[in-house]
């Protein structure tokens, strides 16, 4: 099984052909094809090729399935003896993609 480690949105993801996963928001239309070219490592089970920092001429073709927002997390800060606190919520935007092919 061919796989790749790809950097997207400041995070690293392990991608395999046919898999779908959530990544940080990618600005592309639903149904569009996007190419992720920051490939750090490409492997096929027995051997792997690592880049310095990226593998040259390697890219992962993905299809954008949907855009959405994750569940809300609460950021609560509390300062003792100051009668002060702050409550803030955040919902991270994401893009669900499906890996079509890994080209190396």
Q: Tens digit of pLDDT per residue, the chain (104 long)?
A: 899 999 999 999 999 999 999 999 999 999 999 999 999 999 998 899 999 999 999 999 999 999 999 999 999 999 999 999 999 999 999 999 999 999 98
Q: Alpha carbon of 43 to those of 37, 40, 88: distances in Å?
A: 15, 10, 42
Reported pTM: 0.85
What six digits make up the tokens of 19? 């898999």
Instruction: State the Cα–Cα distance between residues 31 and 38, nearest whole angstrom.
Output: 21
């Amino acid at each position: 099984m061919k796989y790749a480690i790809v950097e997207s949105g400041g995070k690293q993801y392990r991608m395999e052909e046919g898999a779908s996963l959530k990544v940080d928001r990618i600005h592309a239309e639903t149904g569009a094809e996007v190419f992720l070219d920051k490939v750090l490592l490409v492997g096929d089970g027995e051997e792997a090729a690592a880049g310095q920092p990226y593998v040259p001429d390697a890219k992962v073709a993905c299809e954008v399935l949907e855009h959405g927002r994750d569940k809300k997390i609460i950021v609560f800060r509390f300062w003792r003896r100051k009668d002060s606190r702050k409550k803030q919520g955040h919902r991270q935007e994401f893009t669900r993609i499906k890996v079509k092919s890994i080209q190396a």
